Amino acid sequence: MADINFNEMTRPSGDAPAESRSVADPHPPRWDIVELLFFAYRDFVGDADHVLEAFGFGRAHHRVVHFVCRYPGLTVADLLDVLRITKQSLSRVLKQLLDEGYIVQKAGDSDRRQRLLFATAKGEALVEKLARLQTERIDRALRDLPPAGAEAVGKFLRAMIDRDDPDKVLQTILHGASAKDVT
């Protein structure tokens, strides 16, 4: 098992899978980064998955309770913008989180149609537990980088994100805008 037979498994870094190689490709595929992103994200979310299983939750629940915990008072509409899913999909997991006491709702004071969402202590504990796991991995990865390297990672990730039509949460993250700025 795991018996190796790397038949024709070749192809080092920068060669396209056979074809157009004319003058000067302005964007030769970054195969390395593309694949590293796949593996890194796979293992990154994998950390949380195991814990979530014990709670009978999935990734969808994690995302919801995470953002509610981090941005208290988020409305349902806000959450839909952030997660980019439909209200029906959200409703399923949100209902469970409400029923099991990880999140509570409160009517908005200026607009009482809105349901402002807040994580309970129970919800915050779960979120922190998961964030702690993921943070360990991040710290491990940043440990061997100089301060400038860690800074570059942050800049890179920020620059990977779509800028057009940023939702409230994304604006906060990208511009570090304190809540008040947009009120």
Partner DNA sequence: CCTGATATGTCAACATGGCTGACATAAATT
Partner DNA sequence: AATTTATGTCAGCCATGTTGACATATCAGG
Q: Residue 155: CA atoms inside 13 Å, Cβ hemisphere, count?
A: 6
Binding footprint of a second copy, residue count (CB under 8 A): 97
Q: Which of residues 47-76 bind DNA (CB under 7 A)?
A: 56-61, 63, 75-76
Binding status of residue 86 toward a second copy by CB under 8 A: no
Binding status of residue 119 toward DNA by CB under 7 A: no
To DNA, the closest distance from the beta carbon of 74 in angstroms equals 9
Binding status of residue 89 toward DNA by CB under 7 A: yes
The region of 11-19, 50-58, 87-95, 97-105 touching a second copy under the rule CB under 8 A is: 11-19
Q: Which two tokens stand for residue 36?
A: 């590293």
Nearest-angstrom CA–CA distance, 83 and 66: 11
Distances in whole angstroms, Cα of residue 174 to Cα of each of 14, 177, 178: 32, 8, 11
Q: Which residues of 76-91 are buried (b: 16+ CB within 10 A; e: fewer)?
A: bebbebbbebeeeebe
Nearest-angstrom CA–CA distance, 167 and 78: 7
Nearest-angstrom CA–CA distance, 155 and 34: 17
> Binding string, 132-161, against a second copy, x = CB under 8 A?
x-xxxxxxxxxxxxx-xxxxxxxxxxxxxx
Binding status of residue 107 toward a second copy by CB under 8 A: no
Binding status of residue 114 toward DNA by CB under 7 A: yes
| Residues near DNA (CB under 7 A) | 1, 3, 56-61, 63, 75-77, 83-95, 105, 110-115
